Amino acid sequence: MEMVLKQEHKKASYWSSVWRRFKSNKMALAGLIFIIIITVAAIFTPWIAPYGYDETNYAHTFEKPSRQFIWGTDDLGRDIFSRNLYAMRNALLIGFGSQAVVVIVGVIIGAIAGFRGGTVDTILMRIVDIMYAFPTFLFNVILVTALGRGIHIILLAIGITGWAGTARLVRGMAMSLRNADFVEAARALGAKEFYIIRKYILPNMLGPIIVSIAFGIPNAIWMEAGLALVGMGVRPPMPSWGNMISAGTGYIMAFPHMVLFPALLFALTLLAFTYVGDGLRDAMSPRGEV
Amino acid sequence: MVKNLKKYFPARGKWLKAVDNVSFSIGFGETLGLVGESGSGKSTLGRSILRLIEPDDGEVIFEDVDLRKLGGEELRQRRRFMQIVFQDPLASLNPMMTAGQNIEDPLIIHNIGTNEERRKTVMELLDIVGLGREIIDSFPHELSGGQQQRVGVARALALNPKFIVADEPVSSLDVSIQAQVVSLLYELKRKFGLSYLFISHDLAVVKYLSDRVAVMYLGTIVELAPKKELYEKPLHPYTRALLASIPKMPKDGKPQKRFSALKGEIPSPVDLPPGCRFQSRCEHVTEICKEEEPTFREVFPEHFVACHLA
Amino acid sequence: MEELLVVNNLKTHFRRYEGVVKAVDGISYKINYGETLTIVGESGSGKSVSALSLLGLIRKNGKVVDGEAIFEGRDLLKLNQEELRQIRGKDISMVFQDPMTSLNPIMKIGIQIMEPLIWHKLMQSTEAREKAIELLRVVGIPDYRVRAWDYPFEFSGGMRQRVMIAIALACNPKLIIADEPTTALDVTVRAQILNLMQDMKEEFGLSIMLITHDIALAMNFSDSIMVMYAGKVSEYAPVAEFIRNPLHPYSRGLIASTIDIETEESFIKPIPGAPPNPLDLPSGCKFHPRCAYTQDICREVEPECKEVRDGHKVACHLVERGEIQ
């Protein structure tokens, strides 16, 4: 009879060791904390923000940071701090939202292509190739011009133009998993194809997908900023970092605070996500046990 | 003995005659050992029987039904009765599911029982394979090799199969654990009247578990006989060489310093020369061996060989 | 002077997050000139780590924490990497388990054989070339003159292992460490390689340290045998003595559970349980949870490996007391 020795040493299951390695990466941890803070702030923005995002105040235009307006006001007397909060909210919305689209579309297409193989794979991959070849930015501009400048449109557009990379990634993983012993075992048990994809293939692809999301979010935020620069970003008066920076550059010599604060937050946010992405990726591929 | 499986099977696995015209049968409750080295096609054969690899030709008759003729859904239903245990136990379990979930999966797939009933069955299966019930929530990588393989066996048993293909189930385990798992398989065979196709390169283990043994070389069966026959009176030169090349426990304190070795290497299964496949390594090769492929025929009762010189 | 390598109390520990793994925890043995020692053990026994420790090939999170390994008058464990490098491949060579991955896939095999000769400054390239070809002949590669300039993927497993042996022999080493050299090979090829190693040993007067889990092989192939369990030596004896009289319950268990051709049906007796988790070792004698003869002292006190007969050392309280024969 088998004797099972009690495991009294520290338990090291996969995700807990990933977390442990992640934690030891200081920058990644800092990034994560930052993201948590801004996300909470974003959720509660309507209650935290001292002023509305389009609350104009013609008596106080172009004011430097003061007690009344923490980060100063812009050309229409609107509080920059509040506008930044809303911009952050929009950025996160666009970031998470677009990645949701990317993941859904990319995973479905990639998983089917990778798992099925053959003609299905070829057709789907050609579609992916075409998407890949499109200049993403241009495509986004076209979509936004055609469909309007609402946040949800922008979010969708970025998602629709950006799923190709994820699809390729997922397809590669599905192809290698397809031949794994445990997948063959599932087939031998009589599992249907969709069941196998759902329970055997997808859960084993989570790692790289999460990393890809972590990098995709800053990309999406960046993309919106780019759109704003050509006047295709979030429609004012709703603020986004892109349109705030873009509008503020005109006054940069006289009133730098209009650009400074949004740019700073923008940069910090992107940096935070990037560190988290890096940290996740390193944590999931350990090199040498310590 | 009712014919459980009959197979006639010329198959080309991708320009490589991986399994070339193989026929045999396995009766209820019988264990057929399949021995071969790399390139023999034994793994391909095992998987082809279950249609995990699609055979190119031939029939696989399981309880009077030709498996090759079944459509997708019917085949899936049939799968309940024929299962497989893999060589690498860790790779054969879903790393994202616990041991219990892995074992329960076949029941979920075929919609058997309620949640409680399934959990109960899983517990029973753990008992049957000699595992403590507490591992039900452990993940595969937390278990030892022997435990993992037992989980694999438990999963294979979940649907009450009649036939199990065991593809080198102990080769990657430690020696002392091998013995445990082999004992387990032996027990299960007796308790449940299972039929096995036991694939291995290890002649000793095969001998322990099987009723009859088939030896494969480069895609065909070169000898097939009841166990005692094969080990006591091996006819095919390859079988003899296999038996001779195993280091045996030294008796009477006399170690053997040199081992009887077959010359040459296993040729590639692509582009085989005409005649007997074994000609390049056979000590007794003659002219006819180089021209004509020997037929697989019964030389003694129940003892089949494919060799001109038998 | 007969002794080529004398190892005393070697300890190699690894640091892992979950704790310290005492992979090798105090082993001692010796190898004479022209002798074959086989180290037998299962996974977790520490057999491979012990060999790698001698040549300073342990991964970064491991360290040799104690012991000495005197090779030709020098303590290998005290040498720095540069000094060890001069010994590796020249005085002590290794043959690894997996011939598929041990050779450089993008380098012609002839060059791979020449490399140690040139690195150790024994020869210039023209001479080295001739020597490489000669070595291929010696290890039995057909068409050796031509095949010397093929790539590894053009060879079968058995052939690649022969090439590995040729590389190991290149500088006329005194000791070859072979870590499971035949485990990945087909059965019929295994015998060929084992014979080859015996031939090389006789022809060149080498010593061999063979590491394996196959106790039947160990009993046939070696002059001395050392059984390891959980990082320690459980039994150590000249082979004839061991065959006549395996004393340690683990050794006996291994023998009894090895399914041999001659084994009768109902006769294998598996050792219950499994090799212990290195992070959670049992107290006292590491084997006691699986031992049929366990007594209180076995649970509390770790037995030392002591000589109980001529040259025959065992680490077991009960054997010491004469309770097991």
Which residues are paired to B224 by β-bridges? B214, B304
Q: To the nearest 10°, report the CA torsion of A141, A147, A149, A155.
A: -80
The reported pLDDT for the residue numbered C37 is 94
Other C-beta atoms within 10 Å of A163: how many?
Answer: 26
Q: Do A4 and B132 touch (CB under 8 A)?
A: yes
Q: Which of A245, A247, A243 is nearest to A232 (CA)?
A: A243
Residues of C in contact with B185 (CB under 8 A): none
Cα angle C138, C140, C145 (rounded to 5 degrees) comes to 80
Query: Positive or negative, the Cα torsion across A197, A203, A206, A208?
Result: negative
Which overall architecture, per CATH, does domain C3-91+171-320 show? 3-Layer(aba) Sandwich (3.40)
Q: Is B220 helix (H, G, I), strand (E, B) or coil?
A: strand
More confident residue, C187 or A214: A214
Shortest alpha-carbon distance between residue A5 and chain B (Å): 10
Q: Which of B137, B143, B171 is nearest to B42 (CA)?
A: B171
Residue B186's Cβ-side half-sphere holds a number of Cα atoms within 13 Å equal to: 20
* pLDDT category of residue C267 using cuts at 50, 70 and 90: low
Q: Searching chain B, which residue's CA lies closest to the CA of residue C244?
A: B253
User: Does the structure show a pLDDT above 80 at B10?
Assistant: no
Per-residue pLDDT, averaged over C97-116, amounts to: 87
Residues of C in contact with A20 (CB under 8 A): 17
Domain span(s) for CATH 3.40.50.300 in chain C? 3-91+171-320
Where do the domains of chain B lie, and which CATH numbers do they carry? Answer: 3-233 (3.40.50.300)
Shortest alpha-carbon distance between residue C114 and chain B (Å): 25
% of chain C surpassing 70 pLDDT: 96
CA distance linking residue A188 with residue A182, whole number of Å = 10
Shortest alpha-carbon distance between residue B177 and chain A (Å): 10
ipTM: 0.81
Q: Enumerate residues 6+ apart whose C-beta is below 8 A from C70.
A: C3, C5, C6, C7, C8, C76
Per-residue pLDDT, averaged over B91-108, amounts to: 90
Average pLDDT across chain B, whole number: 82
Per-residue pLDDT, averaged over C295-307, amounts to: 87
**Global pTM?**
0.80
Average pLDDT across chain C, whole number: 86
CA C175 to chain centre: 11
Q: Is B224 helix (H, G, I), strand (E, B) or coil?
A: strand
* pLDDT category of residue C1 using cuts at 50, 70 and 90: low
CA distance linking residue C173 with residue C120, whole number of Å = 12
Q: Are C260 and C246 in contact (CB under 8 A)?
A: no
Q: Are B225 and B212 in contact (CB under 8 A)?
A: yes
Q: Enumerate residues 6+ apart whose C-beta is below 8 A from A256.
A: none
Query: Positive or negative, the Cα torsion across B146, B152, B155, B160?
Result: negative
Q: Is A13 on the interface with C (CB under 8 A)?
A: no
The reported pLDDT for the residue numbered C58 is 85
Q: Is C97 helix (H, G, I), strand (E, B) or coil?
A: coil
Per-window interface: A 19-58 vs C, CB < 8 A = 20
CA distance linking residue A284 with residue A202, whole number of Å = 16
Return the number of CB contacts < 8 Å for A and B. 82
Shortest alpha-carbon distance between residue A108 and chain C (Å): 36
The reported pLDDT for the residue numbered B17 is 67
Which segment, A180-194, A243-257, B264-278, is predicted with the most confidence on average?
A: A180-194
Shortest alpha-carbon distance between residue C219 and chain B (Å): 6
CA distance linking residue C34 with residue A41, whole number of Å = 76
Straight-line distance from the first to the last Cα atom of chain C, in angstroms, rounded to the nearest whole number: 34
More confident residue, A175 or A77: A175
Per domain, the residue ranges of chain A are 94-242+253-284
Q: Is A191 on the interface with B (CB under 8 A)?
A: yes
Residues of B in contact with A16 (CB under 8 A): none
* pLDDT category of residue A118 using cuts at 50, 70 and 90: confident
CA distance linking residue C217 with residue C260, whole number of Å = 11
Q: Do C16 and A289 touch (CB under 8 A)?
A: yes
Residues of A in contact with C280 (CB under 8 A): 5-9
CA distance linking residue B110 with residue A195, whole number of Å = 11
Q: Do A5 and C279 touch (CB under 8 A)?
A: no
Per-residue pLDDT, averaged over C240-245, amounts to: 87
Which of B203-207, B252-256, B260-264, C88-92 is the least confident region?
B252-256
Q: Do B179 and C255 touch (CB under 8 A)?
A: no
Domain A94-242+253-284 homologous superfamily, CATH: MetI-like (1.10.3720.10)
User: Does the structure show a pLDDT above 90 at C227?
Assistant: yes
Q: Which of A201, B37, B41 is nearest to C158 (CA)?
A: B37
Neighbours of chain C (3+ CB pairs under 8 A): A, B
